[in-house]
Amino acid sequence: MTVKYSHLFSEGKIGNLRLRNRIVMPPMGTNFANADGSVSQTLIDYYTERARGGVGLIIVEIVCVDSPVGKAITNQLCLDDDKYIGGFADLAESVHLEGAKIFVQLHHAGRQTTPDITGGIQPVCPSATHEGFLNVTPRELSNEEIEDLVQKFVSAAVRAKMAGIDGVELHGAHGYLIGQFMSPHINKRTDKWGGSTERRMRFPLEIIRGIREKLGPNFPICFRFNADDFVEDGIDIEEAKKIARILEDAGVDVLNVSVGIYEAMPTLLEPFHFEEGWRVYTAEAIKKVVNIPVITVGVIRDPVLADSIIAEGKADFVAIGRGLIADPEWPKKAYEGRDEEIRKCISCNTCIGLKVFSGQRMRCSVNPRVGYEWKYPYLPCACEKKKVVVIGGGPAGAYAAITAASRGHEVVLFEKENKIGGQLNISCLPPGKEKISWFTEWLEGELKRQNVILRLGECATPEKISALRPDIVILATGAEPIVPNIPGIERAYLSWDVLKGKVNVPSGEEVVVIGGGLVGCETAHYLLDKGCKVTIVEMLDDIALDMEPIGRFDLLNTFVSKGVKMLTKSLVTAITPETIQIVDAYKRVREVPAKHVVLAVGQKPAGCDLVKALCDMGIPVITVGDARAVGKIVDAVLFGFDAGVKV
């Protein structure tokens, strides 16, 4: 068999450890660990599936060396006690059986955590430097505590080897404790642990030295560090080159090059608009000054790009992070040349930003099996072949159809528009949201691969459905905009119509967007990008509260920098020919200039009448997606998938 991406799938080597290819799964928090920090079966199943999908090396997510003060997420893995060794041994064994190698990332949050996560303990740091993203002021570590933490990292590495783990990664990136010692932005100490680059490197070098003394020269050590903190007076690319040479001299086997700290969060966990492979230049710069292997990471979605990075010598390994959450078989499909079947990550950050950082377990908008690998180890063939009619080709309906057809059912899908996607075709229109169209393209391709009968541009009526004699109907008719009863509302445009280009709002004119949720803010961003002067009016205390926090942080910075007016705690009471009238929290009435008014106050389920008609005809109906309850892509896909499994 000719391998399409020969560079990506050539053998890799870290120290004396051989890897089957150059694809690395980087560490990403899941909250799948048990509450006590031990390895759960959910976690084992999650990583085993990625190993089975063909990845060369898995670096297991942040593993705490000092719980609870060192934790960054609620259910974080721990390796600060011998009681955890058995669980890691089970995990290593399961991954090894699938042909992959496994490292664990040793981690301490330092100041980048909160007392809610640490059990009320004040976070610690080399210096009592305030952390702006989480709004936390840490306590400065004493010399004795620093020495103790060095030993805790070393002891955790020893336990990892005892468990059969192939190597460890020290987390010196993203502004966590090791990185806090390294960064002049955070470390303000004047003793032996701070000052020059060499003194700021003392803490990680003591850890590396301790691991080498305990485990010898052949146990692989990976070091993850920032090539750029993207904050004022932080580590920059020139200092990062110096750090890389220091780490190589200290005996590190591989460098995992990353960027960003919490105070520059969008660079750390990129939202939609970041270009593919935008960080690769940093790894390329580091690779030029060292002789050990270098791993690059950051919005690498396409195997063509991944292979070219290796071929052009920009890095030795490519880390596919959120891409492997979205599709565990990314490596296998790329190896077999089935690129069009790869279900690409769309950078929505539901996985970590919306879920893990909120104390919930990881989920994925485009892959409903994430966290449910134990429940759906495979899709069972249907015991009895049924005729399934799906109404609606949005993410819920399309996923339900794909899943049901993959199990052997005959599936007919009605979609009133001439293309698949539903609201995905609107969601991809605001600035930077183009990646959402990747999911639509995958759904279209998968429907064809599963031989779903598509009836596009056709409304489903009770008569048409009845004529097909279905065994069951999956109703996924989506949602429709809410139009409030406000005097003058007829002058307002629907946000969907603005985004689809049905309504033209000229550049430079004043626009008021009524509704500051996700849809309203994305419409405002679209209008802002066109050059309009935008005001957002929202009833709640703040805007974009239903967005994932990283994307929200990024969007609000854009709004502030570009002069968007945000009127919160305000109720629109009337729309006049040139203004809108609002009442604020203090019952004050005022008028706001509004040449154009756009409405984005929410949605409600559609298709209720059709459900009743079908039920009256005795046809069983499962309602999914927004037709069931208005939600996000992740909700639509999960319930659509579940319906397809159950029919």
How far, in Å, are 82, 101, 151, 167 from residue 158 at the CA level? 10, 17, 10, 10
Of 57, 552, 94, 88, the residue nearest 320 (C-alpha): 57
Of 174, 522, 157, the residue nearest 321 (C-alpha): 174
How far, in Å, are 221, 320, 417, 533 from residue 28 at the CA level? 18, 11, 38, 39
CB distance 152 to 160 below 8 Å: no
H/E stretch holding 320 reads none
583 bridge partner residues: 571, 589
Helix axes 143-162, 85-97, angle to 10 degrees: 50
Q: What are phi and psi of 444, to 5 degrees?
A: -60, -45
d(CA 270, CA 86): 35
Told to judge if 47 belongs to the known catalytic residues of this protein, a careful annotator would answer no
Helix (H, G, I), strand (E, B) or coil at 625: helix
Count of residues making up the chain:
647
3-state secondary structure 125-194: ECCCCCECCCCECCEECCHHHHHHHHHHHHHHHHHHHHCCCCEEEEEECCCCHHHHHHCCCCCCCCCCCC
H/E stretch holding 280 reads helix 280-287
Q: Per the structure block, which two tokens stand in for 175? A: 């502004």
Helix (H, G, I), strand (E, B) or coil at 579: strand
Rounded to 10 degrees, what is the CA torsion of 169, 170, 172, 175? 90
Query: 10 Å Cβ neighbour count for 485?
Result: 5
CA distance from start to end of the chain: 38
Residues 6+ apart with CB under 8 A from 384: none
Burial class (CB in 10 A: 0-12, 13-18, 19+), 514: buried
How far, in Å, are 296, 410, 458, 628 from residue 417 at the CA level? 41, 22, 7, 20
**Cis link prior to 620 (omega < 30° from 0)?**
no
Out of 176, 262, 335, 526, which one is annotated catalytic? 176
Of 503, 416, 425, the residue nearest 458 (C-alpha): 416
- Exposure string of 516-544, with b = 16+ CB inside 10 Å and e = fewer, is bbbbbbbbbbbbbebebbbbbbbeeeebb
Burial class (CB in 10 A: 0-12, 13-18, 19+), 574: middle
Of 520, 515, 606, the residue nearest 568 (C-alpha): 515
CA 296, 302, 308, 310 torsion: positive or negative?
positive
d(CA 539, CA 185): 38
Q: Which residues are catalytic?
A: 176
